[in-house]
Amino acid sequence: MHSLRLEPRRDWDLTIPVPNAFLPTNAIVLLKQHAGNPARCAVKEGDEVREGMVLGVPDGDFSAYVHSPIPGKVRSITTVRLPGGGECEAVEILLHGSFDRLGKRPERYIWKGMRRLDILQAIKAKGVVETTGRGFPLDRLLGGSEPGCDIVIPALDPEPYIRTETAIFASRTAQVLEAARIVQTLTEAGRIRVLIEATRQQGQEEIEALAAPSESSAIELTRIALSQAYTIGLASGHEGSKKKGSPIRLAPSLLVAIYDAVIEARAFVERYVTVAGGAIRRPSVLKARIGTPIGDLIEECGGFLEAPERLVLGGPLTGLPARDLDMPVTKTLGGILALTPPETRRAKVRPCIRCGLCREHCPVGIDPEAIMRDLLGGRPGAAHAKGLDSCVSCGICSYVCPSRLELSQTFAAHSGAPR
Amino acid sequence: MKATRRVLVSGAPFIHGARTAARDAWFVSALLVLVLVWESLLSGWGSLIVAGVAVGTALLAELLQSGLRRRFELDDGSGFLTGLLIALALPPGLPIYVPIVAAAFAILVVKGAFGGLGNNWMNPALGGLAFAWLDWPSQFTTALHSASPLAPLLPNLPHLLVGFDEWASAALNSLLFQPLGATMPSGYFASLLGLGAGGVPGVPMGLVLALSTILIGKRIIHWQIPAAMFAFFALPTWIFGDVASTGFFSGDALGHSLAGPFFLVAFFMATDPVTSPSRQARMIIFGGASGVLAFLFVYFGATALAPILAVLFMNTLMPFIDESASRLLRGRRG
């Protein structure tokens, strides 16, 4: 495999600490922001809700609690089309009334005095789910880990444009590490390893100072060249992978949610989002309430410089297309990108010329070219035999394809299909 | 807030690498235009007319076949490139209908009839050249042995090149080879600069090699195919090339590969991704076999088109190389 070097496209200044976005006057809270079933709606039209109040209760194993990000009145229970396909119920809240927590001094619970089950219960009750993948509830994610395995904190953003995790780690280093200690205690994990960018960033010295000398065990820092972080991450398994002895990967965005839930007893109602791309006037990372329409955040970043060709929820390689600017921020949304034609480098789809670039760069070592030929030729069995199911949907084959074939998109549509 | 205008909604990834197949084809074409310009300085308007006719025919044929398939494909650059390659591989001084037939056959039959770009099982330029050669073999032979009929643009350039060749060869001999007890025959520098055997103008192989290194550096072509092809052509040529007159190990490998279209074929046609393998070992097998075949064709058929026929033959064996190689690998694993 030949390693692919992605251009970082992050030529804007990061503001640390991360500024808060304006509160939405109208929040749209999806009842499905996690893997598993949508949460069951616990409010009705006209109800008064307070900040952090439960809007939805889990329905089934991989479902999770959903809370109100703002105080206000339930305006309606609507149906929203999800960017990944399908639709789900959403609670629309009109901002009014006073805040219970905003601007007040946060409570501080001493987690070391808490029982294991109470901590897990707090995490679950505050609606904490995986923040970078599909949104598995955290109690599920930690359940399968073995005692003694490492905790890995990828404090960097492997995909171009995105700086969410970097910004969180830089502005809340101590809290991220404290949350990692909580998980370490819960799972009886071994070392804590932090992956950071190889190039020196602002505040890096403080991070090292905070990370190095610590109470129980040292925290290890590993530097990774950002241009290669994407492919390295793919090779080392995904978030919460259950392979024997594999480390628990916890993104800083998830760790601050754990911190807020356990130590400050706050529901998971806000998250950090990168708003970037060539069509955005002032790219930045913002701390936004869940339910804030992405249009509001784009407005706060100075609006559009030009009409974007593509509007993306998430990273440029693995994100989802946004249909409009009303899509709300969810627990798993790390980035909003508005991309211009020179950035997308879209071109006419042409026939495969068998150049082999897809095969050369595939991080899991399958042959996208041959699999595509099988799928287009109506031979799904042959495609599965060639390793279609080991595809991790990283998008690299489609990224490099000089004929702009929709390889990974086609694979995603066929994987898991009956042989 | 309402939707922004005309936002696309197909899936990830949303960004792409800088390379596109069309851009690569146009880039290669642009480099070959440099070769053409140099050739025309040596041989006069003849090569420019041949090129114009070949490219024009190729583009017309491309228009026709994409019209038939209701899919406009002129902008992918492949038709232009095919026409240009045909023009450069043809010896100057051929009647004008030869490039026309070669280009038309290449685009309409070799490529179009099998479903257009990506579906052809022979390199179109090679197929067109071989077809034209089979039609008029005697024309090719006479053309190879006579200079361009048109007046050169710079009448003194060939003489200057021959002079430079003699001077450079003599200088290298006295400085480097004679102290080592060897002599380099003259003619290499002239070939590199575009003068073939007997001073007949042709493609400047030195320029072809230089431009190929750019393509290799940009990873548009891989070095394995041309390197293996040269090695497996040069080695038997050196060993057996002059057995009759001077015995074993005395063949002029470099001279034979510089004469004729060998390097043009090896770097620009054998490397066509559609009709060549893209994995390391298979590229070496493909290139090596092409080299050996080219040697056999030269010495038993004595044709200047040997490298063209050799690669063409290997093109037809491509599915076999891919299949048998993967079966061998699977057998080793199982």
CB contact under 8 A, A359 and B278: yes
Chain segment A62-74, per-residue pLDDT in tens: 899 999 999 999 9
Q: Give strand pairing partners of A29.
A: A91
Task: Give the nearest partner residue to B24 out of A308, A322, A402, using CB atoms.
Answer: A402
CB contact under 8 A, B16 and A346: yes
End-to-end CA separation in angstroms for chain A: 28
Portion of chain A with pLDDT greater than 70, in percent: 89
And the tokens for B45? 């308007």
And the tokens for B188? 């290499």
pLDDT reported for residue B201? 60
Task: Give the nearest partner residue to A339 out of B14, B73, B118, using CB atoms.
Answer: B14
Q: Please state, in angstroms and as integers, the Cα–Cα distance from residue A355 to each residue in A345, A370, A402, following that order.
A: 19, 12, 8
B18 touches chain A (CB under 8 A): yes
pLDDT, one tens digit for every residue, chain B (334 residues): 344 445 555 788 999 999 999 999 999 999 999 998 888 877 777 788 889 999 999 999 999 988 888 877 888 999 999 999 999 988 777 888 999 999 999 999 999 888 888 888 899 999 999 999 888 888 877 666 554 444 444 556 666 677 777 778 788 777 777 777 777 777 777 777 776 655 556 678 888 899 999 999 998 999 999 999 999 999 998 888 777 777 788 777 787 787 778 899 999 999 999 999 988 889 999 999 999 999 998 888 767 788 999 999 999 998 888 877 767 766 554 3
A337 touches chain B (CB under 8 A): yes
Contacts with B, A 280-309, CB within 8 Å: 293, 295, 304, 307-309
Please compute the mean of the pLDDT values over residues A12-41 and round it to a whole number: 91
Task: Give the nearest partner residue to B7 out of A310, A314, A359, using CB atoms.
Answer: A310
Tell me the domain boundaries of chain A.
Answer: 26-95, 111-262, 270-344, 357-414
* Contact partners, residue A177, CB within 8 Å, separation at least 6: A192, A194, A210, A211, A214, A219
* A350: chain B residues, CB-CB within 8 Å: 21-22, 73, 76, 117-118
CB contact under 8 A, B21 and A319: no
**Chain A closest CA to B303's CA: distance in Å?**
31
* B24: chain A residues, CB-CB within 8 Å: 402
pLDDT above 80: residue A302: yes
Chain segment A324-376, per-residue pLDDT in tens: 899 999 999 999 999 999 999 999 999 999 999 999 999 888 999 999 999 98
B79 touches chain A (CB under 8 A): no
Contact A258, A179 (CB under 8 A): yes
Count Cβ atoms below 10 Å from residue A116 Cβ, excluding itself. 11
Count Cβ atoms below 10 Å from residue A70 Cβ, excluding itself. 27
**Chain B closest CA to A205's CA: distance in Å?**
33
Fold of A111-262: Rossmann fold (3.40.50)
Q: Return the residue in A9, A350, A407 with the most chain B beta carbons within 10 A, the one to mutate for interface testing.
A: A350
Contact B270, B228 (CB under 8 A): no
* A315: chain B residues, CB-CB within 8 Å: 12
Q: Return the residue in B14, B23, B114 with the most chain A beta carbons within 10 A, the one to mutate for interface testing.
A: B14
* B6: chain A residues, CB-CB within 8 Å: 307
CB contact under 8 A, B22 and A348: yes
Count Cβ atoms below 10 Å from residue B156 Cβ, excluding itself. 9
**Chain A closest CA to B14's CA: distance in Å?**
5
CATH number of A26-95: 2.40.50
A320 touches chain B (CB under 8 A): yes
- pLDDT band for position A102 (cuts 50, 70, 90): low
Name which residue leads in pLDDT, A111 or A44: A44
Radius of gyration (C-alpha) of chain B in whole angstroms: 22
CB contact under 8 A, A319 and B116: no
pLDDT reported for residue B333? 46
Report the C-alpha gap between A381 and A384 in whole angstroms: 5
Contact A66, A53 (CB under 8 A): no
ipTM of model: 0.86
CB contact under 8 A, A399 and B11: no
**For residue A334, which of A286, A381, A375 has the smallest C-alpha distance?**
A286
Radius of gyration (C-alpha) of chain A in whole angstroms: 21
- The residue count of chain A comes to 419
pLDDT reported for residue A36? 86
B119 touches chain A (CB under 8 A): yes
**Chain B closest CA to A8's CA: distance in Å?**
12
Q: Give strand pairing partners of A335.
A: A274
**Chain A closest CA to B113's CA: distance in Å?**
15
CB contact under 8 A, A337 and B14: yes
Chain segment A248-268, per-residue pLDDT in tens: 889 999 999 999 999 998 999
- pLDDT band for position A236 (cuts 50, 70, 90): low
pLDDT reported for residue A243? 53
**Chain B closest CA to A355's CA: distance in Å?**
5
Kindly report the three-state secondary structure assignment for every residue of chain A. CCCCCCCCCCCCCCCCCCCECCCCCEEEEECCCCCCCCCEECCCCCCEECCCCEEEECCCCCCCCEECCCCEEEEEEEEEECCCCCEEEEEEEEECCCCCCCCCCCCCCCHHHCCHHHHHHHHHHCCCECCCCCCCEHHHHHHCCCCCCCEEEECCCCCCCCCHHHHHHHHCHHHHHHHHHHHHHHHCCCCEEEEEECCCCCCHHHHHHHHCCCCCCCEEEEEECHHHHHHHHHHCCCCCCCCCCCCEECCHHHHHHHHHHHCCCCCCCEEEEEEECCCECCCEEEEEECCCEHHHHHHHCCCECCCCCEEEECCCCCCEECCCCCCECCCCCCEEEEECHHHHCCCCCCCCCCCCHHHHHCCCCCCHHHHHHHHHCCCHHHHHHCCHHHCCCCCHHHHHCCCCCCHHHHHHHHCCCCC
* Burial classification of residue A65, based on how many CB atoms lie within 10 Å of its CB (0-12 exposed, 13-18 middle, 19 or more buried): buried
Please compute the mean of the pLDDT values over residues A60-88 and round it to a whole number: 90
B274 touches chain A (CB under 8 A): yes
Task: Give the nearest partner residue to B21 out of A311, A325, A402, using CB atoms.
Answer: A402
Please compute the mean of the pLDDT values over residues A172-194 and round it to a whole number: 88
**Chain A closest CA to B39's CA: distance in Å?**
30
Instruction: Report which residue type is found at B180.
Output: L
Count Cβ atoms below 10 Å from residue A270 Cβ, excluding itself. 24
Phi-psi region at A265: left, alpha or beta (left = phi > 0; alpha = psi -120 to 50) = left
Contacts with B, A 148-207, CB within 8 Å: 160
For chains A and B, CB pairs below 8 A equal 138
CB contact under 8 A, A345 and B17: yes
Fold of A270-344: Ubiquitin-like (UB roll) (3.10.20)
pLDDT reported for residue A217? 60
CB contact under 8 A, A354 and B4: no
pLDDT above 50: residue A390: yes
HSE-up of A302 (CA within 13 Å, CB side)? 14
pTM of the predicted protein model: 0.86
Q: Give strand pairing partners of A286.
A: A273
* B7: chain A residues, CB-CB within 8 Å: 308-311, 321-324
CB contact under 8 A, B16 and A310: no
* B79: chain A residues, CB-CB within 8 Å: none
CB contact under 8 A, B13 and A324: no
pLDDT reported for residue A226? 74
CB contact under 8 A, A402 and B6: no
Task: Give the nearest partner residue to A295 out of B1, B11, B73, using CB atoms.
Answer: B1
- pLDDT band for position A187 (cuts 50, 70, 90): confident
* B2: chain A residues, CB-CB within 8 Å: 324-325
Q: Give strand pairing partners of A40.
A: A57
